Structures are given as C-alpha cells and as structure tokens.
Amino acid sequence: MDRRVKYTQKVIKDTFLSLLEKKDISNITVTEICEIADINRATFYRYYLDVYDLLKKIEDEFMDQINNSQPFKNLSEYSLYSFAHEILTIFYNNKKLVSILFNTNNNMYFLNDVLEVAYGKVLENWKSNDIDIDDEEIEYAIVFVFNGALGMLNYWVKNNFDMSIDELSKSIEKLSIYGVKKYIYEK
C-alpha cells in the first residue's frame, strides 16, 4: 500500500477515534471528520462508506491483530495463564483504541467478536486433546470460561487498566480452573 494512502487512512482513523472519545458515533459526521482531518469528502469515501463502515474496519484491523497473535497460531503451546497474558498485552498495548471500542454503543458486538475468535480456537484445541467429556460439555465449559474472562476484561478496561496484566492473567486462570470458591477462600 502506498505511503500516502496509509497516512491518509491513519489521519482519518485518528480523527474519528478522537471524536469517538468525546461523543456518540451517531453524532459524528463525515463532514466533521473531513474538516478536522483536512481532507475532502471524496477522499474519505474512497476508503469508507460512512462512519459505521470506518468503525467496522478499525475493529476488523484490531481483530486481525488478535487472530494473528502467537496464542492463536500455536494454541497448544500456551497455558491458560500465558494465553490470557498474551491477549491482555495486545489489549494493553492498544489501550486508547480498546477503551474507545469498549465505550461505543456497539460494545457488545465488539466483545462478541473477541469471544468468537477465542472460543473457536479453544474449542478446536480442547476437542483435539481427547478430554473425557462430550462435545456439548466442552462447549458449555468454554462458554462459561470465556464469558467470565470477557466480563473481567470489560471491567479491567472500564477501570482504566487498573490491574497489572500479570495479576489479571493469574485471576483469569485461577477462576477458570478452580472457580469462585477457591478464589475467594485463598485470599
């Protein structure tokens, strides 16, 4: 991709994200983005259909980053702790973007995308390990673990990443393996 194209798209995205920090997506216009980014509307429409398409493409790029991360390429080599740690690091390294995405009205869709990616990889891994439970039980276990982990992730983001990646990874692992009872009584 041409350097100028990359630069233009970056300016558009940065402008859009800075506006999303201040107001709801339904109140952001293409005209406003173009004025702030100092581009014309034709340039915007060369790359994006509208502000919702722009948001979707930003989310897709972030999901590609997660999909292409080491844990998803070699899942069998990762413990639950190291898997969580790697994914949380990606989130932490993209703090501003993640905070904005989690605070937009489509928050739940973005979280579902994260869950779907992780769910499919873990399901595939667990099924290939000859665990002595049937497929339905594996699916319920994964849904339980990942929805809990996503709730923790959402809470972490909403609290401005207040817990270290290491601490949160340990908590996710401990809760996923031992459940709430052991987590509460060990403290």
Question: Token digits for 3?
Answer: 């350097």
16, 73: one domain: no
Please report whether residue 106 resides in a domain. Answer: yes
| CA-CA-CA-CA torsion sign (89, 91, 94, 96) | negative
pTM exceeds cut of 0.85? no
User: Tokens 């070699």, residue?
Assistant: 74
Q: Tell me the residue range of the domain where 66 lies.
A: 58-185
- Residue 48: per-residue pLDDT: 97
85, 15: one domain: no
Please report whether residue 156 resides in a domain. Answer: yes
Using a 10 angstrom Cβ sphere, with 0-12 exposed, 13-18 middle and 19 or more buried, the burial of residue 17 is middle
Please report whether residue 53 resides in a domain. Answer: no
63, 32: one domain: no
Residue 144 predicted with pLDDT over 90: no
b/e 94-107 (16+ beta carbons within 10 angstroms → b)? eeebbbbbbeeeee
Condensed to tens digits (0 to 9), the pLDDT of residues 174-187 reads: 888 777 776 666 65
Q: Which residues contact 94 (CB under 8 A, 6 or more apart)?
A: 62, 65
CATH of the domain at 34: 1.10.10.60
Please report whether residue 154 resides in a domain. Answer: yes
CATH of the domain at 80: 1.10.357
- CA dist., res. 187 & res. 151, Å (int): 21
41, 116: one domain: no
132, 171: one domain: yes
103, 131: one domain: yes
Question: Token digits for 75?
Answer: 């899942």
Condensed to tens digits (0 to 9), the pLDDT of residues 2-34 reads: 899 899 999 999 999 999 989 989 999 999 999
Counted domains in the chain: 2
